[in-house]
Amino acid sequence: MTYPTTYPGAKQRIIPINHSDGGMVQPTRGLIPHVQMGRSSLFGWFSNPASGVSSHLWLSKAGGFEQYVEFGDKAWAEGAGNPYWISCECEGSDTEDYTPIQIARLGELFAWGIRAFGWRPQITDSPSGYGLGTHRMGGAAW
C-alpha cells in the first residue's frame, strides 16, 4: 500500500535539513502533538542548522497547519519514536490550553490519519502503542 507524504490541509514548507530522509516505518503508529513553547511559525527555527530539531507539522493558535517534513521522512521530534510517529508542534506553551480551533484541527488531522494510515482511534501512553500518543510516553529516550 502507498501512504501519503503530505497532509492536504497544510501549507507545504518542506525544510531541506534537520530530518532524516526516509526511514519511517509504514504505516506510522499515529500522531503525537507537542507544545511549541513559543509563538509563530517554526519554519525559521527548523531551517536553522543549529537547532537540530524538526516536526512533520506545526499548528498555529489560529488553526493553520504548516508541513516541514514529508511523512516518509523522519522528523527529529521524539528521539527513539521518530521512525514510528507523525509529530505536530502546536503553537503555545505548557501553561495554557490548546485553543478551540487547535483542538478541532488536531481532531481533523487525526481523523484523516485514521483513514490514510489506518491509525487506531485510541489514546496511548505506550511508545509501542498506536493511535493518539502523548509526548510524556517515551521518557528519557524521547
The string of pLDDT tens digits covering residues 88-124 is 999 999 999 999 999 999 999 999 999 999 999 999 9
Q: Is residue 64 part of a domain?
A: yes
Give the model confidence (pLDDT) of 50-88 as tens digits: 999 999 999 999 999 999 999 999 999 998 899 999 999
Amino acid identity of 89?
E
Judged against a pLDDT cut of 70, whether residue 141 lies above it is answered with: no
Looking up residue 52, the CATH number of its domain turns out to be 3.40.80.10
Q: Is residue 19 part of a domain?
A: yes
Q: How many domains does the chain have?
A: 1
Q: Is residue 2 part of a domain?
A: no
Q: Is residue 142 part of a domain?
A: no
Q: Is residue 37 part of a domain?
A: yes
Confidence (pTM): 0.95
Q: Is residue 3 part of a domain?
A: no
Residue 33 corresponds to which cell in the numbers above? 502533538
How confident is the model at residue 114, as a pLDDT?
Answer: 98
Q: Is residue 96 part of a domain?
A: yes
Judged against a pLDDT cut of 80, whether residue 140 lies above it is answered with: no
Instruction: Provide the domain limits for residue 56.
Output: 10-137
How confident is the model at residue 138, as a pLDDT?
Answer: 72
100 CB-contact burial (10 Å; exposed 0-12 / middle 13-18 / buried 19+): exposed
Q: Is residue 1 part of a domain?
A: no
Quick one: CA torsion of 13, 113, 126, 51, rounded to 10 degrees? 0
